[in-house]
Structure formats: C-alpha cells, structure tokens
C-alpha cells in the first residue's frame, strides 16, 4: 500500500500531470499526421525525459503512447488514411461513417472505444501480468507460426467484392515482405542489384504508399468537384460526447472482446497494435448478426478496431514489467528510458521498485483519462480538417507523407519507393483489389517466415506443429475460421440467388 501511495503521489503531482498532458497532446498530433508513428513520437520524447525522475519520465512517455494510439484514428476517420499502422481497420468503418455525414460520431466512437480499451487493458495488466507473461514467453516458434496462420485467415473478412482478388492481394503482400535480406541468414533476395531494394521494402513506407497516396489520388478523381472547392467530408461536426459514450457502452461484449484481443496480442513479443486492430475487427465481424454492415460505417467496426489497438498498450507492458522483455519497439524504448535511470528491468522489477510499477499502472489510467479530456476538448478543432477543401488537404498531406517516410530512416530512396508503391496502390484500387489483405500480408510475412524456419531449424519435424497443444489450438482455430468464412460466403451467395429469383 505504501508503495502504491508513493507512486501515486509522484504521478498525481502537478508537474507530472502537466507534462503528461503535453505528452498526450504531442502523441495525438504526431499520430494524426500520416507517416508519423507512435514510435517516432516516443523516440523524440525520450531525450526530454532524461532530466526527469524515472517515474515522471516513464509517465510522460506512456501519455505519448496512449495519445498516439488514439491520434491515428483522426486521419483514419477524416481522410481514410491510417495515421499509424494500428488504425488500418479503423478506416474500414470510421471513414465511411464520416463520408455519410457523421464525422463527429465516427471520431467520438473511436475516442471512447480507445479510452475503455486502455482502461480494460490496465485492469488486466494489474491482475494478470505475471501469469500472462509466463504463458507468452513459453510460446515457441511452432506456436508463433500457427498463430500467424490463424491471423492470416482474417483475409477472408477483408476481401471486399472478390475472394479471389483478396487472396491475390494477401499473397502480393507476403511476396513484398520477402524482398530484401532473408530474416534468418541475411542472404539478399530479389533486390535486382538495386540498392533501393537491398534493405527490403520498409513496412511503413508500403503502408503509407498503399493507403495514403492511393487514397489521396482517389480524392482528385473528380476534376469538376475539386475546382468547385469540394470539402473532404460534408456533415455534422457535432462530437456528441455523452450520447456516443452510451452508444459504446451499449456494446459491452464487443468492447470487452476487442480489448482482450488487444491485451493478448500486445502481450506477445513481436506482435502489437498493427495486428490487434485487424484481429479485433475480424472477430467483431464474425460475431455480428449483421456482418454485411461492416465496411459501410457500422459503429461496431470502429469500436472493435479502436478498443483492440488501444488495449495493446497495456498488453505490451505485461512482458516488460513481469519479465523485462519488450513486446514492441515502443516497449523497448520505454525499457531504455528506465535503464537510463539505473533501473534494471526484469522479473525483480516489481519487487525492487514496486512504487515505480504501481506508478506505471496509475500513469496508464491517468494517460487514458487525459487523452479523453484532450480529445473531447479539442476534437472540434480536429474536425475542422473535414471542412478544408480537398485542393488544400491533398497536396499538404502528400508532403506530410513524404516527410514522414523520409524521417523514418533518413533515406531518399524510401521516397522513390513511396511514389512507386503509391502508384501500385492506386492501380490495385482502381482494378478493385482490396488493399487491407495486402497490408496484412506485409505485416505477417516476416513473422511467419522467421518462425517457420526457426521451428524447423530447432527440430526438423513438421508434426510438432500438430503435437504441441497451443500450436494445435491455433491451427484448429484457423481451420474453423476458414470454414466459418466459407459458410458465410455460401450463405450470402444463396441469399443473393434467392433474392434474384423473383425478378
């Protein structure tokens, strides 16, 4: 109790709260700009925390982290461009909702879902950190590969108009992920002798190119509308804070399920928000009584994606606090920040620095509250973005994408890739290929290949994928998931056929 009060007194001090507020605002703004990620915002914050106390520094970084997970929602809902990889699924329903004239509701749903997602993940973090962490680190490459096979079955939910083109897009994504040095031996692959391809295709550049550039290009398709000064989104700018809060709370099953998916995926080292939002969306769609509404602006889609990605913030802290293993790049930076202050991160962290750990739990909850307050107070200003004419938004956001892609690795060649991938993305979109499976393929490809090869290097026995219980559970889940998707497709085909008969 003493340790909790000690931690609380530091987190709730006026200076720390003021700094956390600044951090939350910075995180929201950074993630709202396409091309700038939560990781970049945290890296830029790290040097500023060196002069602070350990708990104060980590609290500020957690506020940037939590703010960043929500900020990605802004460009996802208003521009149709995921501000961060963790808001890819948010674009599926928040953007159509905004286009239908409800941009305020789309943002408000996302903000509340993020808030509740973070709170639920913090509660799980406090209760279940040690057992979950031990489970997560016991998973070997067999279980990871089977998990990725299961995650790949999400493609069935993201295929859009054609299952065939959805699968092709997913395989193109996997193929893109194989360009560059091979993940086990470092052997160059498919680089054609170009320096440009030798390092592989950076995931974020592909994401920005595929989603942002192609979306921006689509916005200028109607030359007459652009010349008339058409806005990005026409509609109600009202945020409807309390009504939407009730709307989110009326979906408790979706909210809790998506948050738990986020926590579980966040706790797995190497996974993270970029996968969690897609898995949570997929699960919500499968469980829904009206799956056909997904992708057209249903609130359930926004709630699932945002609760899922925000919950990974708490989930990622589970292996970090319990075992000293960072689950993602952001967690590694948080760990580095603790080490700068002379705190050794590992299983003894909670015993030796209980006040710090309790302080971190509290900082997570306070950060999410701050994010909520900042969003509620400032969202009207963000919503003004929707009122800016397209001829302003498109060129300016293009420049932000270019700057963001360059700042990732300080490489000019990434800009050439960005333009090329953007053109490819637009061509695929024009030809009616769904883009989300492609991005999923790029995310999951390296994890699948690494774990498949690592598993067979450890023990060249394929049967282990079926004899290890957790691996088998994931594989069975994958088979059931495919069967469920096929059933859904056949059902909708039969319905379409029977609907046509009277005509």
Partner 1 sequence: MSQIDSRSTQQESGEIARLLSYIALLAVSLGLFLEARAMPRSRFEVLGAGAFPMLVHGCLSLLLVASIIASIRKIPVGAYGVFASAIVTWAREKRLVLFLFLCLAIYVMSMPVIGYPIATLLFLLALQITLAPKTRTAIATAVVLSLIFSYGLNWLFAEVFNVFLPRGR
Question: What are the tokens at 368?
Answer: 């999410």
333 binds partner 1 (CB under 8 A): no
* Binding test (CB under 8 A) with partner 1, winner from 220, 373, 476, 489: 220
Q: How far is the CB of 193 from partner 1 (least distance, A)?
A: 12
Whole-number Å distance between alpha carbons of 226 and 376: 31
User: CB-wise, 41 or 267, nearer to partner 1?
Assistant: 41
Q: How far is the CB of 83 from partner 1 (least distance, A)?
A: 17
Question: What are the tokens at 355?
Answer: 């006040």
| 318 close to 128: Cβ distance less than 8 angstroms | yes
Rg for the chain, CA atoms, rounded: 22
Half-sphere exposure of 193 (CA within 13 A, CB side): 0
Sign of CA dihedral 290, 294, 298, 303: positive
* Binding test (CB under 8 A) with partner 1, winner from 392, 466, 483, 490: 392
User: CB-wise, 352 or 461, nearer to partner 1?
Assistant: 461
228 binds partner 1 (CB under 8 A): yes
User: CB-wise, 8 or 163, nearer to partner 1?
Assistant: 163
User: CB-wise, 187 or 500, nearer to partner 1?
Assistant: 187
User: CB-wise, 220 or 377, nearer to partner 1?
Assistant: 220
Q: How many C-beta neighbours within 10 Å does residue 241 have?
A: 15
| 129 close to 318: Cβ distance less than 8 angstroms | yes
Binding marks (x or -) toward partner 1, 349..388, rule CB under 8 A? ----------------------------------------
Within residues 108-127, the interface with partner 1 by CB under 8 A covers: none
Helices (H) and strands (E) in the chain, counts: 25, 2
427 binds partner 1 (CB under 8 A): yes
Whole-number Å distance between alpha carbons of 310 and 58: 18
Binding marks (x or -) toward partner 1, 143..182, rule CB under 8 A? ---------------------xx-xx--xx-xx--x---x
User: CB-wise, 215 or 259, nearer to partner 1?
Assistant: 215
Q: How far is the CB of 417 from partner 1 (least distance, A)?
A: 9
Binding marks (x or -) toward partner 1, 186..205, rule CB under 8 A? -x-xx---------------
Site stretch for partner 1 (CB under 8 A), options 14-22, 87-95, 219-227, 242-250: 219-227
Q: Which residue has the tokens 């290929």?
A: 433
Q: How far is the CB of 26 from partner 1 (least distance, A)?
A: 11
Whole-number Å distance between alpha carbons of 72 and 78: 11
* Binding test (CB under 8 A) with partner 1, winner from 453, 464, 477, 482: 453
Q: Element (H or E) spanning 49, and its range?
A: helix 38-49
User: CB-wise, 243 or 419, nearer to partner 1?
Assistant: 419
User: CB-wise, 339 or 399, nearer to partner 1?
Assistant: 399
DSSP 217-249: HHHTS-HHHHHTT-BS--S-----HHHHHHHHH
Q: How far is the CB of 192 from partner 1 (least distance, A)?
A: 9
Closest by CA to 336, choosing from 320, 323, 322, is: 320
CB neighbour list of residue 64: distance below 8 Å, 6 or more residues apart: 23, 24, 26, 27, 30, 38, 41, 42, 45
Whole-number Å distance between alpha carbons of 490 and 317: 42
Q: Which residue has the tokens 């609130």?
A: 299
Q: How many residues contact partner 1, by CB under 8 A?
A: 60
* Binding test (CB under 8 A) with partner 1, winner from 3, 46, 218, 247: 218
131 binds partner 1 (CB under 8 A): no
Whole-number Å distance between alpha carbons of 274 and 268: 13
Q: Give the 3-state DSSP-derived string for 59-113, with helices as H, strands as E and coil as C.
A: HHHHHHHHHHHHHHHHHHHHCCCCCCHHHHHHHHHHHHHHHCCCHHHHHHHHHHH
Sign of CA dihedral 493, 495, 498, 500: negative
399 binds partner 1 (CB under 8 A): yes
* Binding test (CB under 8 A) with partner 1, winner from 287, 419, 480, 486: 419
Binding marks (x or -) toward partner 1, 457..476, rule CB under 8 A? x--x----------------
Q: How many C-beta neighbours within 10 Å does residue 429 have?
A: 17
* Binding test (CB under 8 A) with partner 1, winner from 1, 381, 412, 503: 412
Whole-number Å distance between alpha carbons of 133 and 120: 17
Residues that bind partner 1 (CB under 8 A): 44, 164-165, 167-168, 171-172, 174-175, 178, 182, 184-185, 187, 189-190, 213, 216-218, 220-221, 223, 226-229, 389-392, 394-396, 398-399, 402-403, 406-407, 410, 412, 415-416, 418-419, 422-423, 426-427, 431-432, 445, 448-449, 452-453, 456-457, 460
């Amino acid at each position: 109790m003493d340790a909790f009060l000690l931690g609380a007194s530091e987190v709730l001090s006026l200076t720390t709260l003021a700094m956390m507020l600044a951090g939350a605002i910075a995180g929201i703004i950074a993630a709202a700009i396409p091309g700038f990620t939560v990781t970049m915002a945290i890296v830029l914050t790290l040097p500023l925390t060196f002069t602070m106390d350990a708990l104060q520094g980590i609290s500020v970084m957690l506020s940037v982290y939590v703010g960043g997970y929500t900020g990605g929602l802004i460009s996802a809902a208003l521009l149709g461009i995921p501000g961060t990889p963790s808001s890819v699924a948010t674009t599926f329903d928040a953007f159509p909702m905004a286009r239908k004239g409800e941009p305020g509701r789309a943002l408000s749903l996302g903000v509340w879902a993020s808030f509740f997602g973070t709170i639920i993940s913090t509660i799980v973090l406090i209760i279940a950190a040690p057992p979950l962490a031990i489970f997560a680190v016991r998973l070997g490459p067999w279980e990871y590969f089977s998990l990725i096979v299961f995650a790949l079955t999400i493609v069935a939910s993201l295929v859009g108009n054609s299952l065939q083109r959805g699968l092709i897009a997913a395989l193109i994504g996997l193929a893109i992920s194989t360009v560059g040095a091979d993940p086990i031996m470092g052997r160059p692959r498919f680089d054609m002798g170009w320096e440009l391809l030798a390092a592989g295709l950076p995931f974020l550049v592909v994401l920005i190119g595929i989603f942002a550039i192609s979306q921006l290009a689509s916005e200028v398709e109607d030359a007459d509308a652009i010349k008339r000064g058409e806005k990005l989104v026409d509609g109600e700018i009202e945020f409807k804070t309390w009504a939407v809060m009730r709307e989110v709370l009326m979906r408790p099953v979706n909210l809790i399920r998506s948050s738990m998916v986020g926590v579980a995926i966040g706790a797995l080292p190497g996974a993270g928000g970029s996968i969690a939002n897609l898995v949570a969306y997929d699960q919500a769609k499968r469980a829904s009584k009206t799956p056909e509404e997904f992708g057209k602006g249903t609130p359930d889609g926004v709630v699932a994606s945002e609760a899922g990605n925000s919950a990974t913030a708490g989930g990622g802290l589970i292996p970090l606090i319990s075992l000293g293993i960072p689950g993602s790049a952001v967690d590694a930076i948080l760990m580095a920040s603790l080490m700068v202050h002379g705190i050794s991160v590992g299983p003894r962290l909670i015993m030796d620095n209980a006040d710090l750990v309790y302080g971190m739990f509290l900082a997570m909850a306070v950060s999410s509250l701050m994010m909520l307050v900042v969003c509620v107070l400032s969202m009207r200003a963000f919503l003004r973005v929707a009122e800016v004419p397209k001829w302003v938004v498109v060129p300016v956001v293009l420049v932000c994408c270019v700057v963001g892609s360059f700042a990732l690795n300080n490489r000019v060649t990434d800009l050439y890739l960005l333009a090329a991938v953007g053109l490819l993305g637009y061509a695929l979109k024009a030809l009616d290929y769904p883009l989300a499976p492609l991005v999923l393929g790029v995310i999951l490809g390296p994890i699948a290949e690494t774990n498949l090869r690592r598993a067979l290097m450890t023990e060249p026995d394929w049967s282990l994928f079926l004899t290890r219980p957790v691996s088998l559970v994931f594989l069975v889940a994958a088979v059931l998931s495919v069967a469920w998707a096929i059933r859904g497709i056949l059902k909708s085909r039969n319905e379409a056929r029977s609907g046509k008969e009277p005509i």
